């Protein structure tokens, strides 16, 4: 099972065409779960349909359609949908013209504003034909939301509730989602601190993207330096190597040394990599990132999401090892919505699906649901400090409380964690 611990702190719709207000009731559990500190963690379940090319897989077609959910919920309630983790059931394919029609039932994790009333159901209208998304975007851009980053990414700003938005029946598929509290929740869970230190070392990988310009005042550079400074604090036997920059790596540092953790001497190793963008990084980035991603206990990314391209690239390039527990924090805009199942799928393969059916036993991921703003490395270092000195370990919920109040932060994968501090 996956679970999400969420702090909704806030910062598409051929979908939201109306809703009925009523109180939610507890329901039987499903495979996914979200736990919220002070936001509302919900599950939207609905039957849908999509028309696509004959050779397109049903999953690819449905995810192309569900991507518009990001615009739906950000424009409606300052929330977000983790469409990449949608559970699809009852999938059926029927030939239609030179393509096919796919029908399905979807259960989608959604994060909702704490102070916004939750409906019992939610009327949806999504693009029908994924072969004609360019035409859809051109027709409704400006009428049903206005693109911020180019018409091809109109899904990011799709707002069917905009005054004057009228969606033609032939362009959309309509359905009504049943809305419920996410049925599984976990509170008071801990990161697997004991597993992090089982080899008497803490290995950290930090990847930083330039936010505006390659200067000392850039947020990415500040975080890069902050990680190294914090790791080196109190460190002995220091070995610090500045890696020669490559064609796409702007800076890279490898730092190792000894620290006394809870009365015991251990090794701390930190690799930091600075790039303009992950998706545009080349072989010089892979040479550093891939081996470090396999051995790291804590992987941090701070930078632009690139409308999901940088987040997907990190997951695609990552290596995983069987039985290796890892904490990942993706600190960019809306990483909750952009992150698919790639990292979890890799864990399932490494661990075998029988042992790790959801790919979460060795993986806890922190994500943001809304635009993430520079917090001067506060949240990045909160996790690092908790992992480094866990004499009085913090729960996942306590860690989330230390994050910036401008973001919607979530953690998923922690519900199957077993660590408990010794009684005092």
State whether 206 and 79 are in the same domain.
Answer: no
pLDDT greater than 70 at residue 358: yes
**Same domain, yes or no: 145 and 212:** no
Residue 353 has pLDDT above 90, yes or no: no
Tokens linked to 345 = 């799928």
Domain contains 8: yes
Mean pLDDT for 211-238 is 97
Is 39 in a helix, a strand, or coil? coil
In this structure, the answer to whether residues 100 and 207 fall within a common structural domain is no
Residues making up the chain, counted from first to last: 424
Token output for 322: 């069987």
Report angle CA 238, 244, 245 to the nearest 5 degrees.
125
Percent of the chain's residues with pLDDT above 70: 89
Domain boundary among 132, 161, 181: 181
364 has a pLDDT exceeding 90: yes
Return the pLDDT at 12: 31
The answer as to whether 187 is a domain residue is no
pLDDT tens digit sequence for 293-332: 999 999 999 999 999 999 999 999 999 999 999 999 999 9
Closest CA to 108 of 164, 65, 138: 65
Asked if residue 174 and residue 254 are part of one domain, the reply reads: no
Q: Is residue 213 part of a domain?
A: yes
- pLDDT score recorded for residue 32: 40
Q: Say yes or no to pLDDT of 214 above 90.
A: yes
What contacts 302, CB < 8 A, 6 or more positions away?
Answer: 206, 207, 208, 209, 219, 220, 223, 331, 332, 377, 380
Q: What is the pLDDT of residue 183?
A: 67
Instruction: Please give the full DSSP string across 40-98, using - where no structure is assigned.
Output: EEEEEEEEEEEEEETTS-HHHHHHHHHTTHHHHHHHHHS-EE-GGG-EEEEEEEEEETT
376, 292: one domain = yes
Bigger pLDDT: 163 or 111? 163
Residue 39 has pLDDT above 80, yes or no: no
Residues 290 and 248 in one domain: yes
Out of 148-157, 208-217, 268-277, 402-411, least confident range: 402-411
pLDDT value at residue 341: 93
Average pLDDT over residues 174-196: 87
Does any domain span residue 188? no
Q: What spatial distance separates the first Cα and last Cα of the chain, rounded to whole Å?
A: 31
Residue 334's CATH number: 3.40.50
Is residue 350 in a domain? yes
Distance CA(424)–CA(421), nearest Å, equals 9
Cβ atoms of 384 and 297 within 8 Å: the answer is no
pLDDT at site 33 = 44
Token pair for 31: 């495979």
Is residue 186 included in any domain, yes or no?
Answer: no
363: pLDDT strictly greater than 90: yes
- Enclosing H/E stretch for 363: strand 363-368
Q: Are residues 206 and 175 in the same domain?
A: no
Please give the pLDDT value at position 424.
61
Q: Does the residue 421 lie in any domain? A: no
Q: What is the pLDDT of residues 45-100, one digit of tens each?
A: 999 999 999 999 999 999 999 999 999 999 998 889 999 999 999 999 999 999 99
Name the nearest CA neighbour of 227 among 367, 389, 377. 377
What per-residue confidence (pLDDT) applies to 9? 39
- pLDDT class for 411, splitting at 50, 70, 90? confident
Residues 228 and 174 in one domain: no
Average pLDDT over residues 211-236: 97
Token duo for residue 29: 């559990």
21-34 pLDDT per residue, tens: 233 333 333 334 44
Residue 424 and residue 404: Cα distance in Å, rounded? 31
- Asked whether residue 332 falls in the same domain as residue 412, the answer is yes
With respect to residue 112, please indicate whether it lies within any of the assigned structural domains: yes
**Last residue of one domain, picked from the residues 181, 209, 242:** 181
Domain span holding position 206:
193-416
Does one domain contain both 222 and 112?
Answer: no
Domain count, the chain: 2
Calpha distance 65→48 (Å, rounded): 10
How confident is the prediction for the chain on average, in pLDDT?
A: 89
User: Looking at residue 30, what is its pLDDT?
Assistant: 35
Q: What is the pLDDT of residue 184?
A: 56
Structure-model confidence comparison of residues 117 and 203, the more confident one: 203
Domain boundary among 157, 181, 205: 181
Q: Say whether both 72 and 17 belong to one domain.
A: yes
Alpha-carbon torsion, ordered 397, 402, 403, 409, to 10 deg: 10
Pair 176, 199 in one domain: no
Name which of 276, 222, 228, 221 is nearest 248 in CA terms.
276
DSSP 417: -
Per-residue pLDDT at 1 exceeds 70: no
Cα separation, 233 vs 230, whole angstroms: 5
Checking if the pLDDT of 2 tops 80, the result is no
Q: Is the pLDDT of residue 237 over 50?
A: yes
Quick one: what percent of the chain has pLDDT higher than 90?
Answer: 74
Per-residue HEC secondary structure of 257-311 comes to EEEEECCEEEEEEEEEEEECCCCCCCHHHHHHHHHHHHHCCEEEEECCCCCCHHH
* Higher local confidence (pLDDT), 76 or 181: 76
Q: How many CB atoms lie within 10 A of CB 150?
A: 11
The whole-number pLDDT of residue 415 equals 82
């Amino acid at each position: 099972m996956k679970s999400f611990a969420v702090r909704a702190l806030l910062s598409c719709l051929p979908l939201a065409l109306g809703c009925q207000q009523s109180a939610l009731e507890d329901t039987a559990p499903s495979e996914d779960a979200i736990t919220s500190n002070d936001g509302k963690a919900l599950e939207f379940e609905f039957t849908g349909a999509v028309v696509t090319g004959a050779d397109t897989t049903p999953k690819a077609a449905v995810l192309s359609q569900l991507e518009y959910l990001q615009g739906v919920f950000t424009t409606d309630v300052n929330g977000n949908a983790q469409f990449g983790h949608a559970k699809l059931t009852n999938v059926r394919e029927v030939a239609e013209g030179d393509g096919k029609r796919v029908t399905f039932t979807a259960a989608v994790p959604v994060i909702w504003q704490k102070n916004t009333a939750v409906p019992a159901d939610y009327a949806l209208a999504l693009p029908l034909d994924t072969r004609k998304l360019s035409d859809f975007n051109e027709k409704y851009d400006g009428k049903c939301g206005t693109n911020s980053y180019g018409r091809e990414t109109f899904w990011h700003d799709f707002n069917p509730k905009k005054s004057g938005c009228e969606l033609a029946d032939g362009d959309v598929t309509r359905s009504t989602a049943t809305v419920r509290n996410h049925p599984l929740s976990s509170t008071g869970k801990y990161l697997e601190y004991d597993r992090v230190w089982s080899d008497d070392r803490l290995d950290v990988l930090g990847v930083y993207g330039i936010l505006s310009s390659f200067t000392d005042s850039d947020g990415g550079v500040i975080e890069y330096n902050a990680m190294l400074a914090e790791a080196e604090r109190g460190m002995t036997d220091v070995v610090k190597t500045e890696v020669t920059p490559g064609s796409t790596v702007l800076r890279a540092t490898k730092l190792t040394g000894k620290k006394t953790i809870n009365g015991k001497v251990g090794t701390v190793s930190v690799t930091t990599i600075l790039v303009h963008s992950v998706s545009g990084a080349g072989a010089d980035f892979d040479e550093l990132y891939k081996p470090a991603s396999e051995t790291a206990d804590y992987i941090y990314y701070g930078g632009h999401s690139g409308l999901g391209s940088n987040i997907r690239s990190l997951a695609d390039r990552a290596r995983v090892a069987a039985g290796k527990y890892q904490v990942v924090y993706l600190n960019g805009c809306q990483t909750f919505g952009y992150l698919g199942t790639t990292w979890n799928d890799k864990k399932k393969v490494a661990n075998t699906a029988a042992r790790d059916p959801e790919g979460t036993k060795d993986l806890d991921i922190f994500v943001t649901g809304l635009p993430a703003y520079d917090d001067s490395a506060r949240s990045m270092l909160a996790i690092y400090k908790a992992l480094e000195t866990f004499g009085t370990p913090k729960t996942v919920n306590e860690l989330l409380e230390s994050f910036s109040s401008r973001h919607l932060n979530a953690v998923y994968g922690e519900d199957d964690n077993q660590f408990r501090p010794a009684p005092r």
